[in-house]
Amino acid sequence: MSFCAWKKGEKYRDHFDHGIYVCSKCDHPLFSSETKYTHDSPWPAFTSTLREDSVAKREEKPGALKVTCGSCGNGLGHEFIGDGPKGKSRF
Ligand SMILES: [Zn+2]
């Protein structure tokens, strides 16, 4: 099953069905439900991307990378290094 709604992230914040989260513009696979967890922000949060090349990253400021779709460049928010559970990243 895949969920096509990063842009409508609020809808998926408390959504925990198993599946793959894909880009809302091009259907590129981005995140797995296995790395999803609940965070205080209104957005769904993940500790890692599906694959290393699922997304493109660009340093925006120390500890925060701008994350875009690895296929079409659609904006996906940020990776906050070390801000996730057990010192993992938060996407
Ligand atoms: Zn895309």
pLDDT digits (tens, 9 = 90+) for 26-65: 989 999 999 999 888 888 899 999 999 999 999 999 999 9
State in Å: Cα 44 to ligand 1 middle: 17
State in Å: Cα 49 to ligand 1 middle: 14
State in Å: Cα 51 to ligand 1 middle: 14
State in Å: Cα 10 to ligand 1 middle: 19
Question: Sorting pLDDT into bands at 50, 70 and 90, what band is 7?
Answer: very low
Residue 58 in tokens: 């660009």
Measured CA to CA, the distance from residue 55 to residue 60 in angstroms comes to: 15
State in Å: Cα 55 to ligand 1 middle: 9
pLDDT at 2: 54
17 compared with 4, residue with greater pLDDT: 17
Domains and CATH numbers, the chain: 2-87 (2.170.150.20)
pLDDT digits (tens, 9 = 90+) for 78-90: 999 999 999 999 9
Q: If 0-12 CB within 10 Å is exposed, 13-18 middle and 19+ buried, where does residue 49 land?
A: buried
